[in-house]
A and B are shown apart, each in its own frame.
Chain A
Amino acid sequence: MRFLALASRHRVVIILGLTLIISALVVPGYFSASTLGLGLDRAATIGLIAIGLTVLLIAGQIDLSGGAVFALAGIVSVILQREIGILPAAIVGILAGMLAGAINGALVVGLKVNSLVLTLATMLIFRSLAHWITNSQPVSGADIMLSLALAKIYLDVFTIRSALFIILIVLLHVWLTRTIPGRNVFAVGSNPAAAKESGIASDRIVFLGFVFAGTLAGLAGVLQSLVTNTGSPVFGSELTVAVIAAVVVGGTRLGGGRGSALGTLGGVLTIGSLTIAMEFQSVPAYVQQVVSGLILILLVVLDRAVTTKGRAPGTRPALVRDNPITQGGNT
């Protein structure tokens, strides 16, 4: 058990190391700058959504609608290109993501409903909206040259998207560890009642957390649509499990109150390099899904095994009964 606890604490390093070794064995020239850059670019999509989810999970909530918001924001930004120009359309796309997050947040805080169940419902709503707007057909953008510019690799490694991801994750790290609002997020996640007693506006933090997560999912969706010059209502449906897996690999606990930006960076890089390695071996998409599902389940079980250690039998916190309406996720 002590070994498990140790392994759990340093798991990002262990898992990322193992993944890199395996990838290097499978993919020739894996550590060349161009392959790494490609991997980073692929990981950036998952990464941007994961940044938002990290904050939400630390605050004790979860957002399952990220993949749907991703698709919706991308579609909005592509459809409006011809009407109002590319940059304004992209901004409106990100705003659409922000609005979706605000809806999630307002409903969770206002109705005091479990965020898992609520975002499950809004996921269905946003996904249906995406199908509704596009008539279930992919839509294409106005300027194909822009996607080439966005896919360009700078300094041998970074695309605009991956650079943005790295910058944001560093900012998030600073915000979470060095600022008072950042510390408050941890307080709300580990004990909402105590946080409220200490004068922290829990509801406001939760609401803003959802807005933040929605905005980031929207940003990721807009970037994806600009890079591929396409908006599709089926984009992002496989992202939900991958994103949650990435964040959980990074050591963020589903129960709230624990997590870190750098851990999420490690988790995202792990999922990214796994994807690249599997695609290089032409592993079918459904096997890749099995792998991300397995990683998720194994790590959540590991977390559980470590956190229940040391409690007398029978005093295990009841799973769903612990005030499930007001709190969001419980591990």
Chain B
Amino acid sequence: MTDAAMEISGVTPDRFTRGSRLVDALSKAGLAFAILAVMLYGSFVSPAFFTSGNLLNVLTSMSIVGIVVVGMTFVLVVGGLADLSVPATIACGAILSLGLQPMIGPLPAFVLAVGLAGLIGLLNGVLVGYVGINPIIATLGIGTIGLGIVQAAVGGVIVYGSNPASAEFAKGRLFGIPVVVLIFLLIALIGHFVLSRSFWGRWTLATGGNYSAAEASAVPVQAVKAGAFVITALASGISGGLLGLTLQSARPLIGAGYEFSAITAVVVGGVSIIGGFGSVPRAIAGLIFVQLLTNVMVLGGVRTPIQGFVLGILIVGAVGMDAALRKRGVA
């Protein structure tokens, strides 16, 4: 996977990565070391850490965030900073896939919910890619509007599921592995393939690496940029739908905080916040680290606010390190 990433970034005018193979290797080793350290610490702190029940729980909750992380990787790599409309798209996926069940059946409801989430992403994409609005402002605004509309549509109340069979499916296991985890792995594989092996991925890396050069090389930069936001919205829609189905209830604020979890995972994984560099496996390694850390904190009895605090510090640290390392890479 890493070789592939290097190859691809070799295609783009990589003013960031050239001459920084050492930095690259160090950051990768650092991440692996951090994951191992957290696991080691976890096994000391709590005997419950290395039980299959706990690890399975981590894996399941990781999968829900992970689906968003795959999309968010595209947004960061294309130079789109971040997508703050994730809570809205998750709520859209969860509320609609439960709320529409009585009317049109579970599967069409799920598909429609994901489709409408994708529509929110399309709005983001058009504003960012074609109109040229700052991504954070655009997604903040569209997210506020989308969440408001979803809340208005259900009257601001909690929606409950009415189809036990779909709940069974979402909570079920295949070959002993939770279905949600399998769906996450599938989406991660597709995302990795698209980003590292397909023309779309090359265009995404090129657009993020050097917008003007990519534009001059006839890359459809505006569409590529917009596409990243559509991908994120579709992914969050799926994630929200699965979340709704597993919980069998959906509040309008069900997706609050997921945008930060996803952004933290991606930047901790070493995907550059200024674009042009990154891969799905890196982001997932970041996700594993953050999720294990959170799990260890929960097992150690650390209260929820402190976890948010730690996430914030991790983002600042990762972004600061990114800025420092990239600059060295240029020189």
Chain A residues proximal to chain B, CB less than 8 Å: 64, 107, 111-114, 116-118, 120-125, 127-132, 136, 240-241, 244, 254, 284, 286-290, 292-294, 296-297, 300-301, 304-305, 308, 314, 316, 318-321, 324-325, 329-331
Contact = CB atoms under 8 A, between A and B. Distances in A.
Interface stretch (B26-34, B159-167, B282-290, B299-307): B299-307
A57 to B, nearest CB: 11
Contacts of B304: 131, 136
A312 to B, nearest CB: 13
Contact of B127 (A241, A286, A297, A324): A297
Size category of the binding interface on chain B: 35 or more
Contacts of A316: 132
B307 to A, nearest CB: 8
Contact of B148 (A107, A290, A300, A329): A290
Given A128-B306, A132-B309, A286-B252, A107 B144 contact: no
A24 B202 CA distance: 56
9 contacts: A114-B273, A117-B82, A120-B315, A121-B316, A244-B140, A254-B134, A293-B145, A294-B141, A329-B134
- A-B interface, 3 closest residue pairs, ranked by CB to CB distance from nearest: A128-B308, A125-B312, A290-B148
A111 B324 contact: yes
Contacts of A241: 140-141, 144
**Chief secondary structure at chain A's binding surface:** helix
B20 interface: no
B144 A320 contact: no
Interface stretch (B3-11, B56-64, B207-215, B232-240): B207-215
A320 B324 contact: no
Contacts of A325: 274, 323, 326
Contacts of A111: 316, 319-320, 323-324
A117 B263 CA distance: 10
A321 B212 contact: yes
Contacts of B315: 117, 120-121, 124
B311 A120 contact: no
Contact of B312 (A112, A128, A290, A296): A128
A297 B319 contact: no
B128 A124 contact: no
B313 A125 contact: yes
Contacts of B104: none
| Residue from A107, A121, A123, A300 whose CB has the most chain B CB atoms within 10 Å | A121
Contacts of A297: 127, 133, 138, 141-142, 145
B152 interface: yes
A301 B133 contact: yes
Contact of A320 (B135, B152, B303, B320): B135
Given A132-B306, A320-B81, 19 more contacts: A111-B319, A112-B323, A113-B273, A117-B319, A124-B311, A129-B305, A130-B305, A132-B309, A136-B304, A136-B305, A284-B151, A284-B152, A289-B144, A296-B137, A301-B131, A304-B133, A314-B215, A319-B79, A325-B323
A254 B79 contact: no
A318 B221 CA distance: 10
